[in-house]
Amino acid sequence: MKKIEAIIRPFKLEDVKIALVNAGIVGMTVSEVRGFGRQKGQVERYRGSEFTVEFLQKLKVEVVVPDEKSEIVLKAIADAAKTGEIGDDSTNPFPSFEGKRINKVLFFRNRLALLSGENVILSRPGTLGTPDFFIESALTVSASDPIDISAASMFPSEIFDGIEINAGLLVFSTNQQFLLSSDDTVLNPDTAKLRSVSTYNYNKDIPVSYTHLTLPTKA
């Protein structure tokens, strides 16, 4: 059995309840909670004056489900609770490595770099201790936002290794090399580009052997 907890907006409770019932879940616990996060509160007006409410009212829905139903229930809640407004994963999505294998962890230009699938994902700069992979605002793009970029290629392949060079971050897939760089002096979500620089056939399951060659010297 697994316990699933979901924090939702109050007006989405009925939609979530219907989704759970349709998924075969009839028992749930609902409690009022308040939260503060990336949404950073909301501005309200009272008698002509503006004030910020930082802790927003939410509802916590708790259900206990069999292991085999956990993924179905998670999807049902996520689909029913979406609003398309700031705070949803549609406006501040999870990074592309969510639920996928991370092949390599690197450091690049004061960002933590993860290689996962066909993507190179860079954290917000200066967050190496506690890496932050979420955007600052759903309304504007910031130079300090994370970078999540996919290799543009006609031949999809998994990126599994990389190394920093003068031109940028050189990453390797099973059939190509890509260079993550910027046309500007600052690497940010608007300027970052991941371009193919070479193609080849490579089997990463076969270990590479190195031969040391000693050149003859004059007597």
pLDDT in tens, 108-118: 999 999 999 99
Tally Cβ neighbours within 10 Å of residue 204: 13
Identify the pLDDT of residue 50: 63
More confidently predicted of 11 and 209: 11
Tally Cβ neighbours within 10 Å of residue 219: 3
In angstroms, how far is the first alpha carbon of the chain from the final one?
Answer: 78
Pairing verdict, β 2-8 and 56-65: antiparallel
Q: State the average pLDDT for the chain.
A: 82
- Of 11-20, 159-168, 181-190, the poorest mean pLDDT is in 181-190
Local confidence band at 89 (pLDDT 50, 70, 90 cut-offs): low
Distance CA 123, CA 119 (A): 13
Local confidence band at 162 (pLDDT 50, 70, 90 cut-offs): very high
User: What are the residues facing 149 on neighbouring strands?
Assistant: 120
Average pLDDT over residues 94-108: 91
Average pLDDT over residues 174-183: 89
Identify the pLDDT of residue 115: 95
Average pLDDT over residues 91-98: 80
Q: For CA atoms 135, 141, 147, 151, give the dihedral sign.
A: positive
Does residue 183 register a pLDDT over 70? yes
Digit-coded pLDDT (tens) for 58-88? 899 999 999 888 889 998 998 898 876 655 6
Digit-coded pLDDT (tens) for 127-140? 888 899 988 776 67
Identify the pLDDT of residue 44: 56
Identify the pLDDT of residue 171: 94
Q: Could you give all domains of the chain from N- to C-terminal order, each with its CATH number? A: 2-81 (3.30.70.120), 104-199 (no CATH)
Identify the pLDDT of residue 61: 93
Digit-coded pLDDT (tens) for 22-39? 999 888 999 998 876 655
Residue of 107, 113, 136 lying closest to 37 (CA atoms): 136
Does residue 91 register a pLDDT over 80? no
Identify the pLDDT of residue 147: 94
